[in-house]
Amino acid sequence: MTSQYVITVDWGTSFLRAYLCEVSDQTQLKLIDTQIARGVCKCDGEFEKELMTCIAVWEAQYGKLPVYLAGQISSSLGWHNTQYLPCPLKPKDIAFGGINFTANGHDLYILPGTSCQYPDQSFDVMRGEELQILGWLQLDPTHAQGRHMLCLPGTHTKWVLVEDGIIKLFKTAMTGELFDIISNNSIIIEEPSQDFNQDAFNDGANYVLAGDIGDFSHDLFSVRTKQVMEHLSKQKATSYLSGVLIGTDVRAAQRSSHWKLDHVESIHIIGSIKLSECFATVLNLIDCPSKIYDAKQTSIQGFTSIIMQRNNT
């Protein structure tokens, strides 16, 4: 059995996460080492310098390794602005839809973005999350069969419909960004708290799930009114707000006209464990069980999928 090494990079707006991986004959990636550097919006456009500094220790040991990159580095803010590939998409479409180039003697490949268009002619886009979708498909052959819903929670949460191994469409919710903005810049959170309170979170989610759709701004203000009426402490308000926002996100996914959540075979959550557990909790409140996957490992599996597709041509 022979092996070689590759570098895979998940390069977002805030952080660059580079992974040194060993590739076996079966083109399975084994994580060897990790390096973290500055994100797209923090390195003043010096993308090549940032990357080469980050991977210099690996270059000294292994030479000029191929590098695969995903995330905002392929956006208009990044190094090379790749196209948005329209859904429906197969893994092979993503594996060959990006850009190949060289930098400092390394062969680099940047993944494309993805897009979808709804019947009302509106659009949605994503960059980086498609890597985790490919990784999830790579984890189990049964994932490429049937109709599944993927939830990728984060700053901009993605809900993705996958049918028979094809990315059919997706929707974005600004759940994480709204939480950050409201927690730090709104009257409804006077004292932001890092201490998570499960009961307050559940109360916020249940309040939304029991209410009428379309009352989002009213639901948000309940964070304030419950404190004023002494039904919610300032220390628990941040957790309650999280419940309101994630409850709103899950309710929208449940009632979306673009899919029937109760008609999918399974729901899978890919993200940080704590945040994924919050989404799983709210999904359980509407009798939709889900399975959680680690975001880093799923991303590495996504790069495995890309390498397999490109090596099998």
Give the 3-state secondary structure of residue 36.
Answer: strand
pLDDT exceeds cutoff 70 at 232: yes
pLDDT in tens, 188-206: 999 999 999 999 999 999 9
Share of the chain above pLDDT 90, in %: 87
pTM for this entry = 0.93
Give the CA radius of gyration of the chain: 21
pLDDT at 25: 65
Average pLDDT, the chain: 93
Domains detected in the chain? 1-127 (3.30.420.300), 129-313 (3.30.420.310)
Residue found under tokens 């730090």: 184
Band (211; pLDDT cuts 50, 70, 90): confident
pLDDT in tens, 112-153: 999 999 989 999 999 989 999 999 999 999 999 999 999 999
More confident residue, 86 or 26: 86
pLDDT at 313: 63
pLDDT at 121: 92
Q: Give the sign of the dihedral formed by CA 29, CA 20, CA 108, CA 70.
A: positive
Amino acid at 170: F
pLDDT exceeds cutoff 60 at 1: no
pLDDT exceeds cutoff 50 at 21: yes
Whole-angstrom CA distances from 221 to 182, 186, 217, 250 are 11, 11, 6, 19
User: Could you tell me if 70 and 78 are in contact, meaning their C-beta atoms sit under 8 angstroms apart?
Assistant: no
Q: Which residues pair with 163 in a beta bridge?
A: 147, 166
Band (247; pLDDT cuts 50, 70, 90): very high
pLDDT exceeds cutoff 70 at 26: no
Residue range 85-109: mean pLDDT, rounded: 96
More confident residue, 24 or 20: 20
pLDDT exceeds cutoff 80 at 294: yes
Burial (Cβ within 10 Å: 0-12, 13-18, ≥19) of residue 113 = buried
pLDDT exceeds cutoff 60 at 3: no
Share of the chain above pLDDT 70, in %: 98
Whole-angstrom CA distances from 114 to 82, 146, 169 are 10, 21, 10
pLDDT at 28: 80
User: Could you tell me if 14 and 41 are in contact, meaning their C-beta atoms sit under 8 angstroms apart?
Assistant: yes
